[in-house]
Structure 1
Amino acid sequence: MLPVPRPTEGEPTKTEPPKAECAPCETRFSILIADDDRGTREALAEMLDRRGFRTMLAADGSQAVELVQVDLVHLVLIDMHMPRLTGLEAFAVIRQTLDRLLPAVLMTADATNDLIRQAFAAQVYSVIPKPVNGNVVLHTLERALVKVYGPRPEPKEKPEDKASAPPPGTVP
């Protein structure tokens, strides 16, 4: 399970991945994390940043809707129970305002059959029970991104990398 520190609530923030830990990649997907618990938002952002994603954070459904309208978002990871708009309500507004497909993954501590049916009827990609498991989150997000956008391109080799590599079939 993800460690969830409990700092005081604050304004939505944007985070950038640490430069040293990110593998070079031509395409970085943007993930919007919407959860009213600041510790959960920040723990998820830290995990995704280390994997090379660009993360944006929203403290409630209304902020999530606003961020999607002003920034490029490739996937929404959204909590169900939040102030102002629930995760499903926010996603419904987002779908109505965008002219493109945007995958969403819903997180909830209340994963009842009825809620799961509602989520799939709303075309949510997947529902993840809380407390979330980091490996489940990563696997689910990557599957959703591949389904909608195709596989991530492999990093391009630099010419100097080829020059220093031994010829195929030889043992260094």
Structure 2
Amino acid sequence: MVKARSQTPYQLLIADDDSGFRDVLKEVLAPYFQLFEAESGEQAIELVEQTHVDIVLLDMHMDILTGLEAVRILKQINALLPCILITADATDELRQDASAADAYEVLSKPVKRQELVTTVSHALVETYQDPNVPFWLGN
């Protein structure tokens, strides 16, 4: 069983090659998390290998490794790590591929603040059995 961690901030990694979109996500999530940033799937993998991360948000379309390819590798490193893909083209095929790779969810850009917060909150509650997450995450 994974221990609840409500007493310390969860560590969230944002992986997106668009610094402007990373900034938008940081603005929404910074009050609740210790944040890490990656500009690529490769950098995200390196960070997860070197640093404890509780949850990852990944853009689907990045150079070299796509978000989906990065999820597959991240799940080999830590099978329990919740990974949420964010994309402008959330097709049924992508959703099926993401599900097969054990991604937690696929969100469509532009992602609404409430949808982002709710999805991250649910991922943390389900993964870490922390019932306090919805309260401190503003749900």
In 1, the alpha carbon distance for the partners of 2:129 and 2:37 equals: 24
Larger radius of gyration: 1
The residue identity in structure 2 corresponding to 1:45 is K
Same amino acid, percent of matched pairs: 45
Counterpart residue type for residue 65 of structure 1: I
Q: Give me the TM-score of the superposition, normalised by structure 1.
A: 0.71
Q: Find the partner of 1:122 among 51, 76, 101.
A: 101
Alignment of 1:102-117 (within 5 A): 102-117=81-96
Q: Please state if 1:55 is matched with 2:35.
A: yes
Residues 66-90 of structure 1 show CA distances to partners (whole Å, capped at 9, x for unaligned) of 0101111001111110011100111
Say which SS state the counterpart of residue 9 (structure 2) adopts.
Answer: coil
- 2:126 alignment counterpart: 147
Partner of 2:24: 43
What is the deviation of 1:153? 4.8
Kindly indicate whether residue 16 of structure 2 is the aligned counterpart of residue 28 of structure 1: no
Q: Relative contact order, CA 8 A, sep 6+: which one is greater?
A: 2
Structure 1 residues not aligned, in runs of 5+? 1-24, 155-172
2:115 is aligned with 1:136:
yes
The one-letter amino acid of 2:44's match is A
Specify the code of the residue in structure 1 equivalent to 2:123: A
- Give the superposition deviation at 1:152: 5.1
Q: What letter matches 1:89 in structure 2?
A: E
The structure in which a higher percent of residues are helix is 2
Q: How many residues align?
A: 128
Where 1:82 maps in the other structure, the secondary structure is: coil
TM-score (norm 2): 0.87
Distance 2:10 2:129 in 1: 12
Q: Would the aligned equivalents of 1:27 and 1:153 in 2 still touch at CA under 8 Å?
A: no
CA distance in 1 between partners of 2:41 and 2:74 (Å): 10
Give 2:51's aligned residue: 71
